[in-house]
Structure 1
Amino acid sequence: MPTDLTWSSEFSEKFIEWMRGKGRVLIVAHDNPDPDSLASAMALKHLVLVKTGQEATIAFGGVIGRGENRVMVEKLEIQAVPLDTLDLNQYKVVCMVDTQPGTGNNSFPAERDVHLVIDHHQARDICRTCRWTDIREDYGASATILFEYLQAQKVSISTRLATILFYAIKSETQDLGRDWCRADREAYLHLLPLVNNHILFEIIHPPVPRDYFLYFCKAISNARTYGDVLVFNLYDIDNPDMVAEMADFLLRADDIRVVLGMARFHGTGILSFRTLSHRIHAGDVMRTVVDGLGTAGGHGMIAGGQIPGEEGSLSAQRALEKDLTRRLLKVLGRPLTRARRLVRNR
């Protein structure tokens, strides 16, 4: 896949012309959407409106729970609605951004057609049935792909949209420190002068409820280490984003190279995987770990997964943690050593 504007220009020109005049457009983000998914959806909505005059609706499943994401939606006026509130028969064009059909991390009905897929995760075979696909596994963020479309189509980028896209690339690549490519860096540097720094500061430093800090306490107290691997369980939660946030937080522990976090949200097991090793492909690891239990996906050094129908009893959640830990250590080639607490009470 070319990394310059040639592919972006040709591809975006073709799908825009195909889309023109076809009626209402639906843009599906993944469940519990993160900045990259929301920014990509907003950029695609803007591109379609400018080039074809068609209105697009952004929809998602789950919740927008993480403090940074809630502030981003509020301050940057991102208009997105729950997928289950829509009459899907009204939409003649369906697009997916930062997700794909069959991944398990979006709530769009599997039996319905998806026409356009834009993503940076490993391509699924089912995408071959989609009319248009642009999947670039070497890119650090889907937002970078959409930025290239806007550049190629000579569509102006407002301060608000620039801030959304910049924050998406910033958060997805950890300030170009994780899973980035040249295109991500070029987009990052181009967008930086256009950003509203006041809003960006508010997004990065959101106010949080006091209950937020209970997650840190629970994650730390439940964390167990197996050599350089750390596993933690938050058990029942009311904010699925906390699993990924705690995984990022605990990856900072010294001598830890791999983190697997888990929790149960509305009957579904939520998994988050992080690694500091470039030799570990996070998506492949997670798909192997949840094989036969659920679905997973990822790229580079980060991944996530879902296990539907997880039992709610404490014993069942502990048994699942034990099984997933065993599977993870096996796929990583690590011995099943005795678990050690991350910290000991003094």
Structure 2
Amino acid sequence: MPLDLTRSREFSAKVIDWIRGKGRVLIMAHDNPDPDSLAAATALRHLLQVTLGIEATVAFGGIIGRGENRQMVKELEIKAFPIHTLDLNQFNVVCMVDTQPGTGNNSFPADRPVHLVIDHHPPRATCDACPWVDIREDYGASATILYEYLVAQKVSIGTKLATILFYAIKSETQDLGREWCRADREAYLQLLPLVNNRILFNITQSKVPREYFSAFNKAISTAVIYDGVLVFNLFDIHHPDIVAEMADFLMRTEGIDVVLGMGCYNGDAVLSFRTLSHEIYAGEVMRAVVEGLGTAGGHGMIAGGQVPGLAKGRQVQEQLAHTLTRRLLERLGRSLDAPVPLLSPSEEDAADS
């Protein structure tokens, strides 16, 4: 569908009027926020600042670990604060962008009310208690929804905000190649002339630490193929985002239509799921795979999950990987028999020499 400015104008106008005079506003991104979450939060902050004169606070849990994301925050001067550094009692209005209450991928306390949810993931029942909800699961990016609000309310978009919104849509939809709609494409094309190309280049070509490359080595060396499904395990990781990045990378493997990756960060398992099949609904599959162990969510072709509180030790992580692999293959009706390493022993030896 094209940009739905009528819907966005009506909804955003009602929300702005409702927030007026209520005091301090918190905008909650999801944990270890990606460009889409940060862009949506920044755009909502700008909208409230221009229309109401409110300096809303953007918060997140976890870390901003991926090199491109750190560079984006630096180059575009994004103001976002770790949630543990804030006194939540100071905020009278709580907004969530690119996440929802009770999904397990944000650190906002479950016993506190959330007033506004803007997202493009499938709706959860927890949103029923929120007075304002705009969830468009057919959209490829939450940033597109916020772009519509800005356009509908005739709020000017400067170069830096345009760049972060553009990069969010670009990365979330992989340059309009994955799970996009006409609204994403229109926003992408309308933002493109406003983008600072130098900043965009600095973000996409950001420098990375040496351990970044060790993740590629570990992902490739642990990758095993089961009947068109590739599974890899990074074990202990320096930041959670790296699992999704490796899943995207290994999705290019010939003959593979499903990838499941995992790693362990601060005692929690981080999971990433990718598929090229339009017949596999990634979000539903991941929720079934982690049922009783953790939480998960996602779209048709991409999903993620968390299994909290793992005991220490590589053996525990290996056992979890085995359990999740078995559940995934059973869910997909694929065979657990005759697993094949991505690299044969001779190829591994050649890579090490």
CA displacement 1:62-82 (0-9 Å, x = unmatched): 000000000000000001010
Shift of 1:336: 1.5
| 2:339 alignment partner AA | A
| 1:308 alignment partner AA | P
Q: Contact 2:296–2:306 (CA<8 Å) still a contact in 1?
A: yes
Q: Residue 163 of structure 2 corresponds to which residue in structure 1?
A: 163
Q: Residue 191 of structure 1 corresponds to which residue in structure 2?
A: 191
Equivalences for residues 230-309 of structure 1 within 5 A: 230-309=230-309
Alpha-carbon distance between aligned partners in 1 of 2:3 and 2:146, rounded to the nearest angstrom? 13
Shift of 1:238: 1.5
Equivalences for residues 34-183 of structure 1 within 5 A: 34-183=34-183
Alpha-carbon distance between aligned partners in 1 of 2:316 and 2:176, rounded to the nearest angstrom? 39
Alpha-carbon distance between aligned partners in 2 of 1:159 and 1:264, rounded to the nearest angstrom? 37
Shift of 1:2: 9.0
Alpha-carbon distance between aligned partners in 2 of 1:3 and 1:338, rounded to the nearest angstrom? 48
Alpha-carbon distance between aligned partners in 1 of 2:195 and 2:2, rounded to the nearest angstrom? 27
Q: Residue 219 of structure 2 corresponds to which residue in structure 1?
A: 219
SS of equivalent to 2:345:
coil
Shift of 1:257: 0.6
Alpha-carbon distance between aligned partners in 2 of 1:97 and 1:338, rounded to the nearest angstrom? 43
Shift of 1:338: 2.2
Q: Contact 2:39–2:143 (CA<8 Å) still a contact in 1?
A: yes
Q: Residue 12 of structure 2 corresponds to which residue in structure 1?
A: 12
SS of equivalent to 1:211:
helix
Of all paired residues, the percent bearing the same amino acid is: 70
Normalised to the residue count of structure 2, the TM-score between the two structures is 0.97
Shift of 1:312: 2.0
Q: Residue 200 of structure 2 corresponds to which residue in structure 1?
A: 200
Alpha-carbon distance between aligned partners in 2 of 1:284 and 1:2, rounded to the nearest angstrom? 27
**Do residues 343 (structure 1) and 343 (structure 2) align?**
yes
Shift of 1:345: 3.2
Alpha-carbon distance between aligned partners in 2 of 1:56 and 1:214, rounded to the nearest angstrom? 39
Shift of 1:316: 1.0
| 1:113 alignment partner AA | P
SS of equivalent to 1:150:
helix
Q: Residue 27 of structure 2 corresponds to which residue in structure 1?
A: 27
- Count residues with an aligned counterpart: 346
Alpha-carbon distance between aligned partners in 1 of 2:113 and 2:344, rounded to the nearest angstrom? 52
Alpha-carbon distance between aligned partners in 2 of 1:110 and 1:3, rounded to the nearest angstrom? 33
Alpha-carbon distance between aligned partners in 1 of 2:71 and 2:314, rounded to the nearest angstrom? 33
Alpha-carbon distance between aligned partners in 2 of 1:344 and 1:199, rounded to the nearest angstrom? 41
CA displacement 1:268-326 (0-9 Å, x = unmatched): 11000001111111100100000000000001210000001112211111111000000
Q: Contact 2:60–2:80 (CA<8 Å) still a contact in 1?
A: yes
Alpha-carbon distance between aligned partners in 2 of 1:249 and 1:311, rounded to the nearest angstrom? 29
Alpha-carbon distance between aligned partners in 2 of 1:4 and 1:18, rounded to the nearest angstrom? 21
| 1:51 alignment partner AA | T
SS of equivalent to 2:312:
coil
SS of equivalent to 2:337:
coil
Alpha-carbon distance between aligned partners in 2 of 1:133 and 1:330, rounded to the nearest angstrom? 35
Alpha-carbon distance between aligned partners in 2 of 1:179 and 1:126, rounded to the nearest angstrom? 25
| 1:86 alignment partner AA | L
Q: Contact 2:15–2:132 (CA<8 Å) still a contact in 1?
A: yes
Alpha-carbon distance between aligned partners in 2 of 1:2 and 1:112, rounded to the nearest angstrom? 35
Q: Give 4+ residue runs of structure 1 displaced > 3 Å after superposition.
A: none
Alpha-carbon distance between aligned partners in 1 of 2:344 and 2:44, rounded to the nearest angstrom? 49
SS of equivalent to 2:84:
helix
- Residues 157 and 3 (structure 1), Cα distance of their counterparts in 2 relative to 1, 3 Å cut: closer
| 2:19 alignment partner AA | M
| 2:115 alignment partner AA | H
Q: Residue 349 of structure 2 corresponds to which residue in structure 1?
A: none
